[in-house]
A and B are shown apart, each in its own frame.
Chain A
């Protein structure tokens, strides 16, 4: 007992590092984040004229004026390199997309993750009036990919990953697991302080907000639906960090979280946000979910044999 307490004290958030982790989980995470980043930036590029062009709906002069002198704003970098804004934009887009493709393929992952993170920062300075929570998450996930080793086994040019590398990757996965739990807690805590999340008002009004909804939620449902959904969202966000540790309950939790993010993507129009959180939840917790599902399947088989 004393030994266990000492171990928990010494290892703190890194105790039982193997629990709920699979061998190449951080590499799956790398692939998921690289693919998501391509999708997210691809959506910006699809509306290039509005968002990414130097003469877009918010031109570079405006965003540069509100940046610090040391920020790597694209206009500042273009002037520094003595390039036209359009030429620099073309090179920056090519390098950002190229680095993300390399990152997804697991080639030169340290360099490609650094480049991807740098160009993400560059573009986020010119696109910042359009950014919201999803970009914050993406930035942190890319930061984790620059710090930790991520390209070994699941790569077009595979290298041998030893126990040391695998341990470092496990630290990264544990970090992301805690990060998710913290951010959900923070979001849930914020909602907990708002009465409108408990009487269904906030959910009802945000679903009927015409300015950003993707699919209109026009169903004239009972008000209890909004009350129940609001309370459920606050509950699962606030207690995510506990629920995710309880066998079987965590499977239900992840299904609920996936449902919530699908709902956000479809009816609140926050498609990249919904897609990223859905992907990350699945990649970060899949070993635990698979363990649960295998056990459920075994119990079902035993029950079937018995009858």
Chain B
């Protein structure tokens, strides 16, 4: 019995080491459809094909960036347009409690990482805000901030290059 437990630990770590040194593909080129499904299930359950490089982004060696999100809800009352800002400091974090700030921040990052998913996400966001605030129109603007730290004597200061990556008006009609 102990041998089985030991084998589990050894196999688990063999895959972890392969993952760290990027020797494990995210999918194996298996010919059988069901063996590919099996591999996916094993990876989903065990998380053996995940990297652990939190706070690092090898694609951005030497740089740091973040994505900000500005969302306004709009409605017409008489002759005037009423605007409601649902974002704050470039994030919709005021929608959630402080413990969940980092989780909600993941959404806006999708705009530069997975644009296909983001277009579905932003529509879902629009439905959510329209239902919550009873405004018929949502305006969203996503900006990518490339940051640089500059040293002035003994202190660091920040300079940013801001680029608009996504902008859209969304309505139910």
Contact = CB atoms under 8 A, between A and B. Distances in A.
A288 B11 CA distance: 27
Interface in B115-173: 117, 120-121, 123-125, 127-128, 131-132, 147-149, 151, 154-156, 158
A211 B5 contact: no
A55 B131 contact: yes
B58 A194 contact: yes
Interface residues of A, number: 81
Given A191-B56, A193-B58, A212 B97 contact: no
Interface stretch (A46-54, A83-91, A102-110, A241-249): A46-54
Contacts of B29: none
Interface stretch (A74-82, A93-101, A172-180, A296-304): A172-180
B72 to A, nearest CB: 16
B95 A139 contact: no
Interface string A39-68: 000011011011100011111011001101
A56 B128 contact: yes
A130 B8 contact: no
Contacts of B95: 47, 50, 57
Contact of B9 (A43, A174, A200): A174
Given A130-B107, A220-B155, A222-B154, A70 B62 contact: no
B104 interface: yes
Contacts of A213: 101
- Scoring A58, A62, A182, A199 by chain B CB atoms within 10 A of each residue's CB, the highest score goes to A58
Nearest to B153: A223
Contacts of B154: 222-224
A187 B52 contact: yes
Interface string A202-229: 1011101111111000001011101000
Interface string B81-110: 000000001110101111111111111101
Contacts of A147: 5, 8
B55 A269 contact: no
Interface stretch (A29-37, A151-159, A163-171, A251-259): A163-171
Given A46-B99, A178-B13, A57 B61 contact: no
A186 B53 contact: yes
Given A186-B51, A269-B98, A269-B102, A206 B121 contact: no
A57 to B, nearest CB: 5
Contact of B155 (A174, A211, A222, A269): A222
Interface of A: 12-14, 43-44, 46-47, 49-51, 55-59, 61-62, 65-66, 68, 70-71, 121, 129-133, 136, 139-140, 143, 147-148, 164, 167-168, 171-172, 174-175, 178-179, 182-183, 185-187, 189-191, 193-197, 199-202, 204-206, 208-214, 220, 222-224, 226, 268-273
- Which 8 A-B residue pairings sit nearest by Cβ, starting from the closest? A190-B53, A190-B56, A205-B64, A130-B103, A212-B105, A201-B149, A175-B9, A211-B91
8 contacts: A14-B9, A43-B99, A55-B128, A57-B104, A171-B5, A178-B13, A187-B55, A269-B101
